[in-house]
Structure 1
Amino acid sequence: MAKLVAVTACPTGIAHTFMAAEGLEQAAKALNHAIQVETQGSAGTRNTLSDEDIAAADVVIIAADTRVDTTRFAAKPLYETTTEPAIRTGAAVIEAALASIPTPAAPAAPAAAGLKIVGITSCPTGIAHTFMAAEGLEQGAKSLGHAVKIETQGSVGAKNTLTAEDIAAADLVIIAADTQVDKSRFAGKRLYEASTKAAIHDGAELVRKAMTEAKVTGGVASGASYDDQVKQAKAQQAAARTGAYKHLMTGVSYMIPFVVAGGLLIAFSFAIGGINVFQDANQGTLGWTLFQIGAKAGFTLMVPILAGFIAYSIADRPGIAPGMIGGMIASTVGSGFLGGIAAGFIAGYVVQLLSDHIPLPRTLAGLKPVLILPLLGTLIVGLLMYYVVGEPVAAALAAITAWLKGLQGSNAVFLGLLLGSMMAFDMGGPVNKAAYAFATGLITSQVYAPMAAVMAAGMVPPLGLALAAFLFKNRFSLDEREAAGATAVLGISFITEGAIPYAAKDPLRVIPALMIGSAVAGAISMAAGCELRVPHGGAFVLWIPNAVTHLAPYLAAIVIGTLVTTIALFFFKRPLGAKVTAQASNA
């Protein structure tokens, strides 16, 4: 029986996060493996993995659609995937993860003359003390005739990273840190911990003290058993962080709370003071104040947050300032969310490039994350946004906005059909999230019709399946029928992922039926000119005055789409008895 740990996360931090966790847990139980799953959702981290959990694990599974910090798993075999395979085929994910565990190598030969020392230095800011402590340890160890390699964990990430070979060959591990450092990769090694101050003050004395007082950390020494594990983990981390989709979804996940809070406060302001509440004549009233909070504060931050956290996903903390400043410039020049996306990617990759190609002596390395990278990154991004990117993107956004606002008749219906079918195609996957991100971004340009179509279409798949399971019992298993009530609740909450368990069992028949109903709902919403100012919440936000325009046609779109899905499922799905008969006849 293997011991597994996992982390699940998705941009909204709701359905996919918990469904992926449940899928992995059920699959592990069926395969007779022990697993503990940490969920990183919009309500925070649940079931947090402890150091002991990680140290005891045979492999770590990351099933996420957003960036997940994997530094604490550096010494473990790491298998990364998205949430969708974990939901649909959890057993296959677990088997693939177990297959990725490398075969332990032979124990390393004992050290010859002198000691081989490895260490880690780290301080809260990750700047001066980190590098000064490393230098003190290096000089102290060399003065005593020992070989030494020190990894620094600073604000620009880990530098001079210890490899599996380094750790396997080490006779002694010294950690000089003022912050928590993951020690799981040093299991079985003699380890001594101290502060950075001790290393800076007298590195040689610290080494002597470590030689006499170090204790073997948890676990049994396993030689080079971590050899390929660290290499594989690093390679997978690097591969995961180059994915444009994951970077974009990281930005979107941080932006959504600003959109929701801002949109709801604007809706409340309209409910209190009317549609013209923002005019100066109403200044000082509660409605006017709520509008200022929602529109002038919440919505103003949307694009900078989007850009800043796209850059953060690419380049870590040094990318945040250039990204957010680039996003603010995008708002200033009128390029909106498209400009914010461009600014985020430019900032992230520019800062990453600068970080990798600006060599500095160790004494000055602390300046890189707080001065050099933010300054140069902001300068380059700002100039590019003003002189190269901003105006063309603003023109493109203006054209798209004008086209969307002028949509009538067949054009509006076509866009509704397209957005609706995208929402149901993979139910929370890349295509679904692309439609959602498109509609959410347009809110910043005061284009609200696509958001209405997207939410109506996203509610239809779970509602249609729940109704079909209630009406056509012979086409659904007992488990599916019992889950229909919960599926309906997910549907009215605009959690499209509630349809995934049904689609996973019979995708070729279920998914087309869902796409037809969602496309119809999206088309009706667009044709009726419905607009939605809130990007989430499902039926629970529809009763807020002015949150949605043309409420009756909008409700009709959802109901009709649900009925179309239900009818399509009746014709597409075969009765369960018919399947059994067909299988028997084929046998």
Structure 2
Amino acid sequence: MKDELKRIREYLMTGVSYMIPIVVIGGVLIAFSIALSGVQEGKGAVVTNPLLKSMMDIGVAAFSMMVPVLAGFIAYAIADRPGIAPGLVGGVLANQLKAGFLGGIIAGFIAGYVARWIKNWNVPKNLRPIMPIFVIPLLTSLIVGYLMIYVIGSPISNIMDAMTNWLRTMSTGNAVVLALIMGAMIAFDMGGPVNKVAFLFGAAMISEGIYTIMGPVAVAICIPPLGMGVATLLAPGKYTVAEREAGLGALVMGMIGITEGAIPFAAADPLRVIPSIMIGSAVGAAVAAIGKVGDHAPHGGPIVLPVVDNKLMFIVAVLIGVAVTAFLVNLLKKPVQAGE
């Protein structure tokens, strides 16, 4: 059992190692394009300069590859080359179904294990040459695709609707409790469906003239990448070389409100990282709610400071949330082994 768990972690780390450059390229380019353009009250990040718009488009294109690359190389680690194409297909479907990186991880493991199972079929000799380039990718992609569409996609959609309705009912109650919940949701899947429910709910409140819901959300958005970036600086021995490099990119992305900057860390070590960033974001959001922080733009991170009410409390809330995340994750993590 222990050996199998170790192998699963190795499969996951293979996917993460190939994904990290994609996250850095996409996140940093998007961050720079927004940073140089700024945000507008009520509109969020607005990039109009043609060169900066092209920079953002390149970043978005790179970001769109993040989940497919993660899924494709998890499958590759499990089943070798026949697993890559089905894993990529599953990752693209995870994107289309708004399943986030967690959906990509599921797709990668399904693709890898199914491809490896088909590889072990006892087939006639005349079929063996076409198995890795035709039969295995085709059958595996069909199985992964149907499972993603019919088994995973529908429940995600239903859960998102239920969570949106639940947040509506919560919005008439205690603001701090609502902030705790929304902060944890923002950090849970970092741009995935749960994150999007909380973000879109906060953004919708702006159009109704209520800014103190988006305020805590804006704080929570930047805490995962900033917290993980700071954690790598405080305890470099607990992170691989690739993770330490990703930590620098995460700091840049956090300043611009790109929560996805924490995904490489969460994908590599979900049981330690996800609870740490959820608690940090929840605490930061709660502090922002106590301080009546308001955000007039549907965006997050320090870049929105020009359109934030109670700027000092916004900064305080971010610093507290980052400190909580960095402390917790470094407390839970163990030093990496030599050579990693």
TM-score by length of 2: 0.62
Q: How does 1:139-178 map to 2 (within 5 A)?
A: none
**1:470 offset after TM fit, Å?**
0.9
- Matched letter for residue 66 of structure 2: M
Asked whether the 8 Å contact 1:65–1:249 carries over to 2, the reply is no
Q: Which structure dedicates a bigger proportion of its chain to helix?
A: 2
Q: Which runs of 5 or more structure 1 residues have no equivalent in the other structure?
A: 1-12, 37-56, 69-79, 107-218, 220-224, 251-336, 339-395, 581-587
Map Cα deviations across residues 115-154 of structure 1 (whole Å, 9 max, x no partner): xxxxxxxxxxxxxxxxxxxxxxxxxxxxxxxxxxxxxxxx
Identity of aligned residues (%): 31
**For 1:526, what is the secondary structure of its paired residue?**
helix
Map Cα deviations across residues 355-377 of structure 1 (whole Å, 9 max, x no partner): xxxxxxxxxxxxxxxxxxxxxxx
d(CA) in 2 for partners of 1:514, 1:565: 5
Map Cα deviations across residues 432-460 of structure 1 (whole Å, 9 max, x no partner): 23322332333333222221211211210
**For 2:90, what is the secondary structure of its paired residue?**
strand
| Counterpart position of 2:256 | 493
d(CA) in 1 for partners of 2:271, 2:105: 17
**1:476 offset after TM fit, Å?**
1.6
| Counterpart position of 2:37 | none
**1:487 offset after TM fit, Å?**
1.3
**1:493 offset after TM fit, Å?**
2.4
Indicate how the Cα distance of structure 1 residues 65 and 96 shifts in structure 2: closer, same or farther if over 3 A, else same: same
**1:422 offset after TM fit, Å?**
2.1
**For 1:576, what is the secondary structure of its paired residue?**
coil
- Matched letter for residue 95 of structure 1: G
| Counterpart position of 1:94 | 111
- Matched letter for residue 549 of structure 1: D
- Matched letter for residue 502 of structure 1: F
Asked whether the 8 Å contact 2:223–2:321 carries over to 1, the reply is yes
1:533 pairs with 2:293: no
d(CA) in 1 for partners of 2:61, 2:195: 15
d(CA) in 2 for partners of 1:539, 1:29: 38
| Counterpart position of 2:325 | 565
d(CA) in 1 for partners of 2:113, 2:295: 43
d(CA) in 1 for partners of 2:193, 2:253: 20
**Alignment RMSD, CA only?**
4.4
d(CA) in 1 for partners of 2:256, 2:330: 24
1:449 pairs with 2:226: no
| Counterpart position of 1:461 | 224
**For 1:239, what is the secondary structure of its paired residue?**
helix
Asked whether the 8 Å contact 1:416–1:450 carries over to 2, the reply is yes
Indicate how the Cα distance of structure 1 residues 554 and 33 shifts in structure 2: closer, same or farther if over 3 A, else same: same
| Counterpart position of 1:62 | 90
Indicate how the Cα distance of structure 1 residues 58 and 232 shifts in structure 2: closer, same or farther if over 3 A, else same: closer
Q: How does 1:37-56 map to 2 (within 5 A)?
A: none
d(CA) in 1 for partners of 2:141, 2:232: 48
| Counterpart position of 1:550 | 310
1:432 pairs with 2:192: no
Asked whether the 8 Å contact 2:115–2:140 carries over to 1, the reply is no
Indicate how the Cα distance of structure 1 residues 523 and 100 shifts in structure 2: closer, same or farther if over 3 A, else same: same
Asked whether the 8 Å contact 1:66–1:249 carries over to 2, the reply is no
| Counterpart position of 2:278 | 515
| Counterpart position of 1:209 | none
Asked whether the 8 Å contact 1:420–1:520 carries over to 2, the reply is yes
| Counterpart position of 1:33 | 81
Map Cα deviations across residues 218-270 of structure 1 (whole Å, 9 max, x no partner): x9xxxxx9x989986995586269716348979xxxxxxxxxxxxxxxxxxxx
d(CA) in 1 for partners of 2:290, 2:113: 47
**1:523 offset after TM fit, Å?**
0.7
Q: How does 1:289-308 map to 2 (within 5 A)?
A: none
Map Cα deviations across residues 444-486 of structure 1 (whole Å, 9 max, x no partner): 3322222121121121011111111112112222221122111
1:419 pairs with 2:182: yes
| Counterpart position of 1:19 | 66
| Counterpart position of 1:478 | 241
Map Cα deviations across residues 466-516 of structure 1 (whole Å, 9 max, x no partner): 111112112222221122111112222222222122123333332232222
d(CA) in 1 for partners of 2:237, 2:142: 52
d(CA) in 2 for partners of 1:458, 1:525: 12
- Matched letter for residue 333 of structure 2: K
Indicate how the Cα distance of structure 1 residues 529 and 33 shifts in structure 2: closer, same or farther if over 3 A, else same: same
Indicate how the Cα distance of structure 1 residues 531 and 233 shifts in structure 2: closer, same or farther if over 3 A, else same: same
Q: How does 1:45-444 map to 2 (within 5 A)?
A: 61-63=89-91, 64-65=93-94, 67=96, 83-87=101-105, 90=108, 92-98=109-115, 236=147, 239=150, 243=154, 245-246=156-157, 403=172, 411-444=174-207
The structure with the largest alpha-carbon Rg is 1
Map Cα deviations across residues 315-353 of structure 1 (whole Å, 9 max, x no partner): xxxxxxxxxxxxxxxxxxxxxx96xxxxxxxxxxxxxxx
**For 2:111, what is the secondary structure of its paired residue?**
helix
Asked whether the 8 Å contact 2:239–2:336 carries over to 1, the reply is yes
Asked whether the 8 Å contact 2:203–2:214 carries over to 1, the reply is yes
| Counterpart position of 2:334 | 574
| Counterpart position of 1:202 | none
Indicate how the Cα distance of structure 1 residues 241 and 19 shifts in structure 2: closer, same or farther if over 3 A, else same: closer
d(CA) in 2 for partners of 1:235, 1:87: 16
| Counterpart position of 1:315 | none
- Matched letter for residue 336 of structure 2: L
d(CA) in 1 for partners of 2:274, 2:139: 40
Looking at both structures, which has the greater relative contact order when contacts are Cα pairs under 8 Å and sequence separation is at least 6? 2
d(CA) in 2 for partners of 1:88, 1:418: 25
d(CA) in 2 for partners of 1:417, 1:87: 27
Q: Which runs of 5 or more structure 2 residues have no equivalent in the other structure?
A: 1-59, 125-129, 131-135
Number of residue equivalences: 265
**1:412 offset after TM fit, Å?**
2.6
Indicate how the Cα distance of structure 1 residues 471 and 236 shifts in structure 2: closer, same or farther if over 3 A, else same: closer
Indicate how the Cα distance of structure 1 residues 416 and 449 shifts in structure 2: closer, same or farther if over 3 A, else same: same
d(CA) in 1 for partners of 2:142, 2:235: 52
d(CA) in 1 for partners of 2:200, 2:154: 17
TM-score by length of 1: 0.38
d(CA) in 2 for partners of 1:505, 1:34: 23
**For 1:446, what is the secondary structure of its paired residue?**
coil
- Matched letter for residue 112 of structure 2: E
